[in-house]
Amino acid sequence: MKIGIVGCGNISPRYFEGLKQYDGVDVVACADLDAERTASRAVEYSVQAMTPQELLAHPAVDIVVNLTLPQVHAEVSLGAIAAGKHVYSEKPLAISASDGDAIVEAAEKAGVVAGCAPDTFLGGGLQTCRKLIDDGVIGRPVAATAFMMGHGHEHWHPDPAFFYKHGGGPMYDMGPYYLTALVSLMGPVRRIAGATSSAFEHRTVLSEPKRGQRVDVEIPTHVTGLLDFHSGAAATIVTSFDVWGSRLPRIEIYGTEGTLSVPDPNTFGGPVEVQRGREEWESVPLAYPEGRRGLGVVDMANALQNGRKSRVDARLARHVLEIMEGLHESSDVDRHLVLRSKCDQPAAVPLGLPEGHFD
């Protein structure tokens, strides 16, 4: 299937490089509001340079990959859908649950498929964890913890201001990786409660080319959440841009028979470890190919060609978006919130398939 990439910024090289490794997809065009950046990426990756409007209208493009800023994800995705294109968006799906609803509803009405990152849960690390849970290695999951502890992106990102605006912050930026991992391993969430704070009113950019610029912080930069799953399990999640250092695990899942140590959900690989009863921790080799950026687009293309539901279906991302928005809202209104949305737990990837194959 022919792919057009809209948004040629910092994340785009990972998609260009990743997608060219897989059969069944071919990046043919790219677009960005910055014409020079578009031209540079087009030359670098031997694709056609277009304006965003030209790309959305081009008959050769089957799937639009939306890598724009989160604040315009909904606008671009809805534009692609209106043009009759399938669309795969970088995370988050949108910056409000209502916009997430609009994308899902528009895609259904137009008869196209909308999907969304992250696709790291399709990688070898998290799929190995999924198999261990499905095989009952730790018994029935009863609880989980998830921690993303850091000090923000101003020390490395070339233009970090949007991370501290509405739609940014640690939960909207990194929460999709952790929440998608939890939902893929334990199923959808029923009820949430949140507590939020911000340690700093301003951030100073330490990276080039905007070193020394001051950024006003407009969104909570430390978010703690409690998640009650439909399965009966409960989880705690903490995402922070206010922490200098931490030794907390990324994700642990606690079952009736043991504990599963889950790798960084922002990666595609391991390590995976299991501890059963009172036994020592045991390293588990990956049961699947590790994978790389672009797996979600490939799964979506496979699903379209084979007439099945994509594992990165936008309903999963909408559910995650409602959780993220709800954790902020819960803190503001000082009460638990019951979620409106419910998604299917994504199907596990079958064993024994080469990397980039899902059927």
Q: What is the DSSP string of 236-296?
A: EEEEESS-S-----SEEEEESSEEEEEPPTTSS---EEEEETTSPPEEE--SS----TTHH
Domain(s) of CATH 3.40.50.720: residues in the chain: 2-116
Range 18-29 average pLDDT: 96
Element (H, E) at 46: none
Task: Report the range of poorest mean pLDDT among 29-43, 153-167, 262-276.
Answer: 153-167
User: How many C-beta neighbours within 10 Å does residue 296 have?
Assistant: 26
Q: What is the CATH number of domain 2-116?
A: 3.40.50.720
What pLDDT digit, counting tens, does each position of 304-346 carry?
Answer: 999 999 999 999 999 999 999 999 999 999 999 999 998 999 9
Entry pTM: 0.97
Domain(s) of CATH 3.30.360.10: residues in the chain: 123-286+321-338
What integer best gives the mean pLDDT of the chain?
Answer: 97
Model confidence at 281: pLDDT above 90? yes
Q: What are phi and psi of 202, to 5 degrees?
A: -135, 155
Model confidence at 110: pLDDT above 90? yes
How far is the C-alpha of 333 from the C-alpha of 116, rounded, in Å? 29
For residue 338, the model assigns a pLDDT of 98
What pLDDT digit, counting tens, does each position of 180-228 carry?
Answer: 999 999 999 999 999 999 999 999 999 999 999 999 999 999 999 999 9
Q: What is the CATH number of domain 123-286+321-338?
A: 3.30.360.10
CA 57 to chain centre: 27
Range 74-89 average pLDDT: 98
Model confidence band, residue 175 (pLDDT cutoffs 50, 70, 90): very high
Residue 197 is encoded by which pair of tokens? 């704070």
For residue 342, the model assigns a pLDDT of 87
